[in-house]
Amino acid sequence: MLFFTQCFGAVLDLIHLRFQHYKAKRVFSAAGQLVCVVNPTHSLKYAPTRCAAGQTSAEQGVLPPCLHHEAVHDPQLVPCTCPLFSCPWEGHLEVVVSHLRQTHRINILQGAEIVFLATDMHLPAPTDWIIMHSCLGHQFLLVLRKQEKYEGHPQFFATMMLIGTPTQADNFTYRLELNRNQRRLKWEATPRSVLECVDSVISDGDCLVLNTSLAQLFSDNGSLAIGIAITTSKVHNAEDEM
């Protein structure tokens, strides 16, 4: 009996997932983009100023001092960049992606343009929606966070980080786009390096910021579809016109 109940639950989950996917495809069908359904994760740790972003030290591949990492002894090693957990892991930048995939089960998607479909936007803050994006020979970490910067007023923050050094990050431009009901909101910026820490990017507000009311306007039945595109900075400069 328990077996059948579990089977029925799994089938319902599959139908729900398929429905979300169908909805996103409907919205973004014109572009024929890859749609990825991303479920929320309730953040287990939360420290608003976990890292003091130090450009100089980050530039050298050394992570700035973090509250949960006493010290990085070897400058070649970086701590875990997963914004969800206080993870004691540290390793070389080249193996951060495999650590995030294997230990934190963060999915990775291929393609220059994808659609990130964050489900269950109504969940209380702090909540994160995270995915990795492989594109132009590099890996990027997309983080959507629901957070109460001001008590009782949750906001959504979305940013893209390069799993690489700040110098490498300067070569790219990322675009996040919301498009629904004849409204469109676009954010374009240079990605920050994961060495700079996602918490500091969000606390600086240097990302796409949405009030709850705006997020609701762009949501469809509790899911928010964000179109993501990454280009090299040369393309961005050429397009640099109003």
**Site residues for its own copies per CB under 8 A:** 28, 30-31, 33, 113, 115, 150, 152-153, 155, 173, 177, 179, 182-190, 204-206, 208-211, 213-214, 217, 227, 229, 233, 236, 240-242
**For residue 2, what are the contacts with CB-CB under 8 A and spacing of at least 6?**
none
> What DSSP designation does 61 have?
T
Residue closer to its own copies by CB (options 3, 150) is: 150
Residue closer to its own copies by CB (options 84, 178) is: 178
Residue closer to its own copies by CB (options 71, 242) is: 242
Say if residue 2 is exposed, middle or buried (CB neighbours under 10 Å; 0-12, 13-18, 19+).
exposed
Q: State the minimum distance, in angstroms, from the CB of residue 228 to its own copies.
A: 9
Q: State the minimum distance, in angstroms, from the CB of residue 133 to its own copies.
A: 15
CA distance 87 to 131: 17
Residue closer to its own copies by CB (options 68, 236) is: 236
Q: State the minimum distance, in angstroms, from the CB of residue 86 to its own copies.
A: 26
Spell out where 104-207 has E strands: 108-110, 113-118, 127-135, 138-150, 153-162, 172-180, 183-189, 192-193
Q: State the minimum distance, in angstroms, from the CB of residue 54 to its own copies.
A: 19
Check if the beta carbon of residue 50 is closer than 8 Å to that of residue 197.
Answer: yes
